Amino acid sequence: MQTLPSLPHYLLRNAELHTNRVAMRHKDLGIWREWTWASVCAEVQAFAIGLLELGLKPGDKVAIIGANRPKLYWSFSAIQSIGGIPVPMYSDAVADEMVYVLEHAGVRFAICQDQEQIDKVLSVIEQLPLLETLLYDEPRGLRDYDPERILSVDEVQKRGRQAVERNSNKPVEWRMGIDELVSDELCVMLYTSGTTGRPKGVMLSHNNLIVTSINANAFDTLDHTEETIAYLPLAWVGDHVFSYGQSLTAGYCVCCPESMEAITECRREIAPTYFFAPPRVFETLLTTITVAMEDASRPKRAMFNHFIEVAKRHGEAVLNGEGVPPMARLQYAIGEWCVYGPLKNRLGMSNVRVAYTAGEAIGPDIFRFYRSLGINLKQLYGQTEASVYITAQPDGQIDADTVGTPSIDVELQIAENGEVLYRSPGVFLGYYQNDEATASTKTPEGWVHTGDAGFIDDNGHLRIIDRAKDVGKLNDGSLFAPKYIENKLKFFSNVKEVVAFGDQRDFVTAFVNIDLTAVSNWAERNNIVYASYQELAGHPQVYDMIEKHIEQVNVDLAAEPRVAGACIKRFLILHKELDADDGELTRTQKVRRKFINERYEPLIEAMYSDKETQFVSTTVVFEDGRQGTIEADVRIMTLPHIAPLKMAS
């Protein structure tokens, strides 16, 4: 494959090749403004020369903090074109979290979106002796700040343009500088969000991003006609590849929404052809649709329900281009006209050719819902260390449980302990100033440990089951992957949280948290009276309902040979909701297994005994910080044997 040496080279190429094509849009003051590739190139040139005038040198690190705005995207190219290293950061992080990255990366300049971000950086600036200059995009509220040290991006671009006026050789020098960039050198540092321990700075080279971007474009035949909307955090590798790397290499247009709140409206106006969202976005959209339809008039609701049923039966087959009976095809076509089309328009997905979801497991029902509407939603599996792509689902080979086949140029390998390893041109250079972590993640041969356990199924598709360190074994030797089981159960709307146990035990047990909103709604409709969460959680009918869900999950599990041994045998519904304030969940709502193991030891032991109930007393922290105790006799339920159910399925 013939590639250019660096990302700024692609910008120059696009300015020549797609001169008058729109490269970027931004909705501002209610109007979509546009920049062609030529004008983006001119903006970047002014910005880059302005940065040179400010004294930015090759190798300098520049933090970029803010939302998806054109000037922040231009800053990537501008910094890279003069050999600097952009370090995009999560703009919702508090100052204390930011200071670690700013200090660790040794940032010399920081480009901030607005006053909020400038204030955050200024509040910790004493700890950052290397940080010299702050730049901002939105001037609001920054009038009285020190103009020597805190400048607007406009001002920097103006200085760049003035420098060109004084010395018309500057643009030529700038281009010569770009030609000196080397493809294997560091081009961006992306800090992993750091759910475990401190964030690590993942160093990616031009080549990493260029090759993976070109491969990804080829995989889904994306070209310069695509439209995307950029709304995910700049610091996240996904956005860096989708909205920057792939846009530069393919030459497609990236649209920046007016604000995060207005994203749905903006997406509707743009109607992207290529779209990415984490599962929760799809979940939220589906909830909005469901709620809206419940409020709709009876005929509308009937029509909606009817055609959604049609879509459920035939939609995926139509999308996959499989044979569908003519009558069904006709029904689906009418549905497209009456329901699916307008609905996709509402969602801003009318023109979507390829949509991806990744990051977490997506509920199969949600996944299929979107696909049945004719939206080509697929799953991919990736990591910052891989420049995103490890596996992705090819068109027509879609399964809610898999994450697809290895992407172009990616080699996969499953280690002895079930961990997924990969090797690809996108593999990162290393962690910044952390050779120890680099050495433990990346082997000398270039294989990278993902930390995830998985297996390759009979069709050659990868299935991820859990974090490798959480995967254990039952005493009879069968594989126990807690998250895999938990996720299956959590896809039921009545279930909010699940914690499965089973490592080095005889069988699998589970704690269940009911979802108060869903279950209280259900209770109301079924005339079940309750006074508190605790009472509802202990209600026999709620237990029966959860039991049915678990039976269903057991049937699913029993059907998969690799996890068949790990069906849930006993469960209980916890008397309280697991809460981050009590330390049971992380702030990102992930279960802290070790803590729960210690805190609820009596309950766990009771599940592995013959007891029917177990008394438990738990201290809780209320929202105002006061402490209290909740006491309860928690019922433990044993499920009937699984084998007959398997027959039934």
Could you give the 3-state DSSP secondary structure of residue 138? coil
CB 174 within 8 A of CB 81: yes
Q: Which of 409, 411, 508 is nearest to 456 (CA)?
A: 411
Question: Between 35 and 109, whose beta carbon lies closer to other proteins?
Answer: 35
- Minimum separation from the CB atom of position 138 to other proteins (A): 9
Token pair of 219 as six digits: 């995989």
Closer of 155 and 582 to other proteins (Cβ): 155
Q: Which is nearer to other proteins, 137 or 239 (CB)?
A: 137
Instruction: Determine which helix (DSSP H) or strand (DSSP E) holds 46, and give its type and residue range.
Output: helix 37-54
Min CB(348)–other proteins separation in Å: 14
Name the DSSP class of 353. S
Taking phi over 0 as left and psi of -120 to 50 as alpha, with beta for the rest, 425 belongs to alpha
- Distance (Å) of CA 640 to CA 360, 484, 490, 586: 31, 21, 21, 34
Three-state secondary-structure class, residue 239: helix
- Structure-token pair, residue 10: 């692609």
Q: Judged by CB, which is closer to other proteins: 1, or 260? A: 260
Looking at beta carbons only, is 159 or 224 nearer to other proteins? 159
Q: How far is the CB of 156 from other proteins (least distance, A)?
A: 10
Residues 472 and 502: their CA atoms lie apart, in Å, by 8
Contact 153, 136 (CB under 8 A): yes
Nearer to other proteins, 119 or 185 (CB): 119
Taking the complex as a whole, the smallest distance from the CB of residue 29 to other proteins amounts, in Å, to: 4
- Number of Cβ within a 10 Å radius of residue 498: 27
d(CA 260, CA 336): 30
Could you tell me which of 501, 615, 603, 494 has the C-alpha nearest to residue 544? 494
Residues 6+ apart with CB under 8 A from 596: 499, 511, 578, 584
383 DSSP β-pair partners = 388
Which helix (H) or strand (E) covers residue 276, if one does?
strand 274-276
For other proteins, which is the closer residue by CB, 151 or 202? 151
Nearest approach, Cβ of residue 36 and other proteins (Å): 10
Helix (H, G, I), strand (E, B) or coil at 348: coil
Q: Is 516 helix (H, G, I), strand (E, B) or coil?
A: helix
Q: Which residues of 229-261 are buried (b: 16+ CB within 10 A; e: fewer)?
A: bbbbbbbbbbbbbbbbbbbbbbbbbbbbbbeee
**Residues near other proteins (CB under 8 A):** 28-35, 39, 43, 139-141, 143-145, 147, 152, 154-155, 158, 258-259, 261-262, 265
CB nearer to other proteins: give 97 or 265. Answer: 265
Choose between 139 and 171: whose C-beta lies nearer to other proteins: 139
What does the block give as tokens for 314? 């035939």
Q: Which is nearer to other proteins, 159 or 442 (CB)?
A: 159
Q: Which residue type sits at 591?
A: V
Overall size of the chain counted in residues: 649
Cβ proximity to other proteins, 74 vs 480, nearer residue: 74
∠ CA 369-375-380, rounded to 5°: 90
Q: State the minimum distance, in angstroms, from the CB of residue 363 to other proteins.
A: 27
Minimum separation from the CB atom of position 120 to other proteins (A): 15
| CB of residue 154 to other proteins, shortest distance in Å | 6
Angle between helices 279-295 and 298-310 (to 10 degrees): 140
Least distance CB 158 / other proteins (angstroms): 4
Least distance between other proteins and beta carbon 260 (Å): 8
CB of 157: closest distance to other proteins in angstroms? 8
Measured from the CB atom, the residue of 265 and 395 that comes closer to other proteins is 265
71 CB-near residues (< 8 Å, 6+ apart): 43, 47, 137, 153
Residue whose CB is less far from other proteins, 6 or 68:
68
| CA 141 – CA 205 distance, rounded (Å) | 37
CB of 67 to other proteins, least distance (A): 12
